[in-house]
Amino acid sequence: MIEFKKVVKSYDNQIKVVNGLDFKINDGELVVLIGESGCGKTTTMKMINRLIEPTGGEILINGKNIMSINPIELRRNIGYVIQKVGLLPHMTVGDNIELVPYLQKWDKKKRRARAEELLDLVNLEPSQYIDRYPNELSGGQQQRVGVARALAVNPDIILMDEPFSAVDPLTRDQLQEELLKLQDEVKKTIVFVTHDMDEALKLGDRIAVMRDGKIIQYDTPENILKNPVDDFVEYFVGKDRLWKSPEMLFAKDIMNKKPIMILQDRTPANAVEIMKEKNVEYLLVVNQVGDRPKKLLGIVTPRELSGKGISQYKMKDIMRTQFTTVTEKTSMVHVLQTMKDKKIKNLPVVGEEDGYLKGLITHTSILNILTEAISVYDDDREGY
């Protein structure tokens, strides 16, 4: 864990670049620091490995104050990837990756085996690349080598300072995907600095939005999109970005939280009356009503009610028990695909853990969300 406690960085005892930071980065998290130029994000990251010394406060790694650790030893145990890669041009790819293991006195055979392993990990064939020089590689390949070098001694922490900003958009997207895949495998604690909100939303487990040396909001990508804490964060994120990122919208965001229900022991006559009163043709059959959690038992439509006017029938006798559901955390993209594939207009939502009924997605509820998106877009256009 990395913990900042009232951390300050000032110059000439008055210019505060970082002002009273208090936040924690958990083991295995990829945390993105983002903000406008001069907000203090790079300074914050560089204080972790003491490339910049804090003026006040404490930075703890696993409970130990970094100021009590020899800075050289500290840096050798923290991976570091920068925008310009920083590969030594007179050394081969293999020698660049092996540099820190060499300084830590690993034997030659172990160093070479580690370099080959890491080249495999970053999708560079060792036999083709290990003896090449940096100037023989593309920008994207150099960045992959930079990541491999940062992992050389298997550090718990990796710092990444706008590592993909100098490559073309296609290569950048590929590198981002590879980083996500790599993180799934190695589970490092990564602090990633960027000025690109799309990149932050794609990569971050949590995002710290910074301004004037302070963290304005420290939250998950989902919450930053849906619940910005103030106008600055909303402006910085972009009001319409949520609608451009449908994977950030979930079933719980688009469902009707008060669907029309009926108890399993009610009659077809009761069902017809409810449908007429509520102007619906789809009832969720549940085990109980009120505020208590409800088990979804089945569904009833006019098709099930046809010819069932005799009062001896109950909902439990005629309801359809084979139906499709999604959970609250199902993405909007998957919801729409499911409704298309199954050719259905109504999709019940259940709890991921308890299986209880949470809501119902209908064409109307989806339309309401799209209407809101159009409204946001129109609001933005008024500014032009």
- Domain extents for the chain? 2-242, 252-369
Q: Are 163 and 191 in contact (CB under 8 A)?
A: no
Nearest to 65 by CA among 7, 20, 104, 19: 7
Predicted confidence at residue 240, as pLDDT, reads 63
Per-residue pLDDT of the chain in tens (384 residues, 90 and over written 9): 999 999 999 887 777 888 889 999 999 999 999 998 889 999 999 999 999 999 999 999 999 999 999 998 898 889 888 876 678 889 999 999 998 899 888 999 999 999 998 898 888 899 899 999 988 988 888 888 888 888 888 888 999 998 887 777 888 888 888 888 888 888 999 999 998 888 898 899 999 999 999 999 999 988 888 888 988 888 887 766 666 666 677 888 889 999 999 999 999 989 999 999 999 999 999 998 777 889 999 999 999 988 776 668 899 999 999 999 999 989 888 888 899 898 899 999 999 888 899 999 998 877 776 665 545 444 554 443
d(Cα 329, Cα 247) in Å, to the nearest integer? Answer: 10
Structural tokens at position 89: 């041009």
C-alpha to C-alpha distance for 333 and 50, rounded to whole angstroms: 43
CATH of 252-369, one of 3.10.580.10, 3.30.1650.10, 3.40.190.10, 3.40.50.720: 3.10.580.10
Please give the pLDDT value at position 382: 45
Q: Do domains 2-242 and 252-369 have the same CATH topology?
A: no
Count of H-run helices and E-run strands, the chain: 18, 16
Enter the CATH code of domain 2-242: 3.40.50.300
- CA 111, 115, 118: angle at the middle one, nearest 5? 135
CA distance 284 to 73: 63
Q: Angle at the Cα of 204 (from 326 to 26), degrees rounded to 5?
A: 100
- For 304, counting Cβ atoms within 10 Å of its Cβ (0-12 exposed, 13-18 middle, 19+ buried), the class is buried
